[in-house]
Structure 1
Amino acid sequence: GLSLHSAADGLAIGSAAAGTSEAVTAAVALAVLIHKVPAAFSLGVFSMHEREDRNDSIRDVVLFSIATPLMIVVSFYALEGLDEHMIALAMLFSGGTFLYVAAVDTLPDIHNPETGREAMINVLMGVIIMVVILFGADAAGLIEHGH
């Protein structure tokens, strides 16, 4: 599961790199890197706790770690030179996988009568924080507009 998610990270970076905007590539790469460290740490800790064989845990982390760079290279060369619409579709697909993972992880908590209110507040706060960051970055001229 996490290796597929990690491959989607690589697709996001590779498709952004195949496009023409260095700012988009940098933003996507930064977003992936920010969440990659805690995800790798969580996987390592969880795997060491759940697996009986340490080698299986190491294999899990190695597969997780190589999936992103491998997919960066594959998707970049597969998409390089293609129409911007095809590159945009690849980025949309990778973004959709992130939304799916977030929804699968969050929805059970939201629908639980005991945790639903707190989970919904956490989701809304995350959305509000991201909107504030994006508007702030736009106001500071850090976001490139293509029109």
Structure 2
Amino acid sequence: MTAVLVAIGAFLTTLIGGLVAQRTGDRRHLVLGLAAGLMLGVVAFDLLPEALAQTPDELFGVPEPLLTFAAGFLLIHCVERSVAIHRAHEGEYASHTHAHGHAHPHHGRAEGVGLLAGGALVGHSVMDGFAIGAAFQAGGTVGTVVALAVVAHDFADGFNTYTVTRLYGNDRRRALLLLGADALAPVTGAAITLLFRIPEHLLGLYLGFFAGFLLYLATADILPEAHSPHPSRSTLLCTLAGVGFLWLVVGLAK
């Protein structure tokens, strides 16, 4: 039951992250820059190390989670190319910027991609709940360390869920529904661990796949969108701040 109580803390921080993302107004480019930094930090400092720790097995000389990492990156790339979402150069992003400085998503972008991205983040948050539950099964100290990391970075999860869903043209209602699902996900995951455990091998493969998916969104879509309508310096600083924040979270959790 301790794991479920801790997951409720993750529920609250996820909601706070999404509500902060919602109230950004004209500073959307800064939000996108920060979101990209948080995504990069989650991939580099959290998802990939955890995936490799869970599943160290290799296939033809390559750790299996790195293969699913590449598969996740390539899958979303193929999805975007197949529906002609992404364009070859960043200049087309600027063509959608109005005189008052607000950037708008491409009309050609499928809202379904945003829902898919948000849904993947919800799935990741379920795994966060699993991680909390499994850690407390291993011992109170381990559970406390994992819980600290999950509760802290679930702020980033909520922030990213709302931001990515809205980036692809979904309305506020859909974004808030996914945010609510993302907030409930760690509680659900922690509750499920009271019944059974997820095999470590499968968990590592999933984390690697999700890391590749998230990396593509951050580098191929969100960063170009963030830098197109405004000077890049402030956006870059926000990206660096996002990466640094996740580094701090992971460091404190060790």
TM-score, scaled to structure 2: 0.35
Please point out which of 193, 199, 206 is paired with 1:90. 206
Q: How does 1:120-131 map to 2 (within 5 A)?
A: 120-131=236-247
Query: Which has the larger helix fraction?
Result: 1
Question: RMSD of aligned C-alpha atoms?
Answer: 4.3
Asked which structure has the greater RCO (Cα within 8 Å, sep 6+), the reply is 2
Q: From the superposition, tell whether residues 17 and 128 of structure 1 become closer, same or farther in structure 2 (CA, over 3 Å).
A: same
Q: Which residue of 2 aligns with 1:30?
A: 152
Identity of aligned residues (%): 15
Indicate conservation of the 8 Å contact 1:12/1:28, yes or no.
yes
| Structure 2: unaligned runs, 5 residues or longer | 1-114
Q: Does 1:66 align with 2:181?
A: yes
Q: How far does residue 116 in structure 1 lie from its aligned partner after superposition?
A: 2.9
Q: How does 1:1-147 map to 2 (within 5 A)?
A: 1=115, 2-15=118-131, 17-18=133-134, 20=138, 21-22=142-143, 23-32=145-154, 34-35=155-156, 57=173, 61-66=176-181, 68-69=184-185, 72=189, 76=193, 80=197, 82=199, 84-103=200-219, 104-110=221-227, 112=228, 114-132=230-248, 134-135=250-251, 137=252, 142-143=253-254
**Partner Cα separation in structure 2 for residue 131 and residue 105 of structure 1:** 20
**Partner Cα separation in structure 2 for residue 61 and residue 134 of structure 1:** 27
Show CA shifts across 1:45-65 (max 9, x none): x7xxx86xxxx93x7634542
| Structure 1: unaligned runs, 5 residues or longer | none
Q: From the superposition, tell whether residues 64 and 40 of structure 1 become closer, same or farther in structure 2 (CA, over 3 Å).
A: same
2:126 aligned partner, one-letter code:
G
Q: How far does residue 80 in structure 1 lie from its aligned partner after superposition?
A: 1.1
